Copies of this chain bind each other. A is one copy, B any other.
Amino acid sequence: MDFYSSQILNLVEQLSHLPGIGNKSAQRLAFHILNMPQEQVKGLADAMTNAKKNVKYCKECCTYTDDELCPICANPKRNHKQIMVVENTRDLAAYEKTGKYEGVYHVLHGAISPMAGIGPQDIRLSELMVRLQKDVDEVIVATNKTLEGDTTATYISKLIKPLGVKVSRIASGVPIGGDLEYIDEITLYRALEGRTDM
């Protein structure tokens, strides 16, 4: 791409390191940025550096936040005795959008994966155990329904049960709007196992 001058090449290169952005999207983004008003480019660049500089982990649930506590942990209206364990902040966001969950969260920032060399000490599990020393009614394990997520769920369950705290796992089944014909066998089997009375 020697037909681009060095600063454009550098911008394209930096953008193409972002996830889901290939070389072509990076070029499109780069030229869009060159066409943006100077102020807006500065706003975007500053948002990145400031967020990176100032955002830290919530000292309760370990999600990303700028304050000591995230907005959810700081909210006295939430049920602090019910903790939903998720793999990352995006999963927390997904459950928040349902508007149906009133407890708090614990963000692991990963899942146990022996294949990738990620063990229990590499995710925010010890922080969860510290929280359980306070009065907690239930831990809902909402890690992904993947090999790693299930491994993590089993590990957490074995760790917590001896403490006498209730541990539950979110249900597996056919997604709403899902057409049975296109659902994999394991999901169908789990949906059958998890059937409820009508």
Q: Which residues of A contact B (CB under 8 A)?
A: 1-8, 10-11, 13-15, 17-20, 25, 27-34, 36, 38, 40-55, 64-67, 70-72, 88-90, 92-93, 96
B47 and A10 within 8 A (CB): yes
A41 to B7, CA, bound (A): 16
B45 and A19 within 8 A (CB): no
A34 to B48, CA, bound (A): 8
Number of copies of chain A assembled together: 2
B10 and A51 within 8 A (CB): yes
A46 to B51, CA, bound (A): 15
A6 and B48 within 8 A (CB): no
Among candidates B38, B41, B49, B64, residue contacting A41 with C-beta atoms closer than 8 Å: B49
A54 and B89 within 8 A (CB): no
A93 to B106, CA, bound (A): 47
A61 to B189, CA, bound (A): 63
A66 to chain B, nearest CB (A): 4
> Given A34-B51, A51-B33, does the pair A3, B96 have CB atoms closer than 8 Å?
yes
A48 to chain B, nearest CB (A): 5
Among candidates B8, B18, B53, B70, residue contacting A55 with C-beta atoms closer than 8 Å: B8
A103 to B51, CA, bound (A): 46
A3 and B34 within 8 A (CB): no
B7 and A55 within 8 A (CB): yes
B27 and A43 within 8 A (CB): no
Give the residues in chain B near A48, CB-CB below 8 Å.
11, 33, 41, 44-45
Pairs A–B under 8 Å by Cβ, sample size 17: A1-B93, A3-B71, A4-B64, A4-B93, A5-B64, A7-B50, A8-B51, A13-B47, A14-B43, A17-B44, A18-B33, A19-B28, A34-B52, A34-B64, A36-B52, A42-B49, A45-B49
